[in-house]
């Protein structure tokens, strides 16, 4: 059984969603914000962050790496083979290096931090930078699709959609990116996503 350390209102949401997509049995070990540096948590993730995963003798940190492991256990179509496996890695790394930093700059200064701690200029800059990345994604989806790696939903879709979930749920303006918006709607209303969202949003 997979043991996911964290709470659904953290990046553990991504891992719960992935486990649901994979059809794997999992247990959530509740570790909330503020508890990450407790000795028992540091034994699982020495970075003092959530989530972390235990799968038998294997312990992993980094949510997107956890999801790649979960997908590999499930196999195709969640984790395809050959060149498509490389495309999954590409889009997963793109989610981490291109989409997430800009999304987080917008999010922290729009709805995450208390109102008196938000920086409107930083929020605007984050939104503009994220829009540049979404323009790349829009062109990719126009050229192919309906999913990131073609006709099947893969862990790349889960990973990137989970990174963008906060914007989707909290009013980011996707008007210039209709393909991205339609793709996000399709991702985040899948049965597995709805189960994970119920834990997060409930």
pLDDT one-digit tens code per residue, 4-25: 999 999 999 999 999 999 999 9
Looking at the fold, whether 44 and 122 belong to one and the same domain comes out as no
Looking at the fold, whether 103 and 166 belong to one and the same domain comes out as yes
Q: What is the model's pLDDT at position 7? A: 97
Looking at the structure of the chain, the number of domains it has is 2
Per-residue confidence band for 93, with pLDDT thresholds at 50, 70 and 90: very high
Q: pLDDT digit string (tens) for 109-128? A: 999 999 999 999 999 999 99
What's the mean per-residue pLDDT of the chain?
97
Q: Is the pLDDT of residue 173 over 90?
A: yes
Asked, as a colleague might, if the bond just before 77 is cis with ω within 30 of 0, I would say: yes
Could you list the residue range(s) of the whole structural domain that residue 89 is in? 83-190
Q: pLDDT digit string (tens) for 22-67? A: 999 999 999 999 888 899 999 999 999 999 999 999 999 999 999 9
Report the predicted TM-score, pTM, of the whole model to 2 decimal places. Answer: 0.97
User: What number is the average pLDDT over the span 97-117?
Assistant: 98
User: What number is the average pLDDT over the span 146-171?
Assistant: 97
Looking at the fold, whether 95 and 144 belong to one and the same domain comes out as yes
Looking at the fold, whether 48 and 88 belong to one and the same domain comes out as no
Q: What is the model's pLDDT at position 141? A: 98
Looking at the fold, whether 29 and 88 belong to one and the same domain comes out as no
Contact 7, 50 (CB under 8 A): yes
Q: Is the pLDDT of residue 145 over 90?
A: no
Looking at the fold, whether 159 and 115 belong to one and the same domain comes out as yes
Looking at the fold, whether 26 and 96 belong to one and the same domain comes out as no
Looking at the fold, whether 70 and 117 belong to one and the same domain comes out as no
Per-residue confidence band for 184, with pLDDT thresholds at 50, 70 and 90: very high
DSSP string for the chain: -EEEEE-TTTTHHHHHHHHHHHT--EEEEE--TT-TTSHHHHTT-TTS-S-EEEETTEEEESHHHHHHHHHHHH-TTTS--THHHHHHHHHHHHIIIIIHHHHHHHHIIIIIS-GGG--HHHHHHHHHHHHHHHHHHHHHHHHS-SBTTBSS--HHHHHHHHHHHHHHHTT---TT-HHHHHHHHHHHTSHHHHHHHHHHH-
């Amino acid at each position: 059984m997979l043991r996911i350390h964290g709470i659904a209102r953290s990046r553990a949401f991504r891992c719960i969603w992935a486990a649901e997509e994979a059809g794997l049995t999992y247990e959530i070990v509740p570790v909330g914000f503020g508890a990450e540096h407790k000795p028992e948590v540091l034994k699982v993730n020495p970075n003092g962050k959530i989530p972390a995963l235990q799968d038998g003798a294997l312990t992993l940190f980094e949510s997107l790496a956890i999801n790649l492991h979960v997908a590999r256990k499930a196999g195709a179509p969640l984790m395809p083979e050959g060149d498509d496996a490389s495309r999954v890695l590409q889009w997963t790394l793109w989610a981490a290096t291109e989409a997430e930093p800009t999304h987080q700059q917008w999010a922290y200064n729009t709805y995450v931090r208390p109102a008196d701690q938000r920086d409107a200029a930083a929020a605007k800059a984050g939104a503009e930078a994220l829009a540049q990345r979404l323009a790349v994604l829009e062109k990719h989806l126009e050229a192919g699709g309906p999913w990131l790696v073609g006709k099947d939903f893969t862990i790349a879709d889960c990973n990137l959609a989970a990174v963008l979930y906060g914007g989707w749920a909290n009013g980011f303006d996707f008007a210039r990116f209709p393909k991205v918006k339609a793709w996000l709607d399709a991702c985040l209303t899948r049965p597995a996503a709805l189960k994970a969202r119920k834990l997060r949003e409930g």
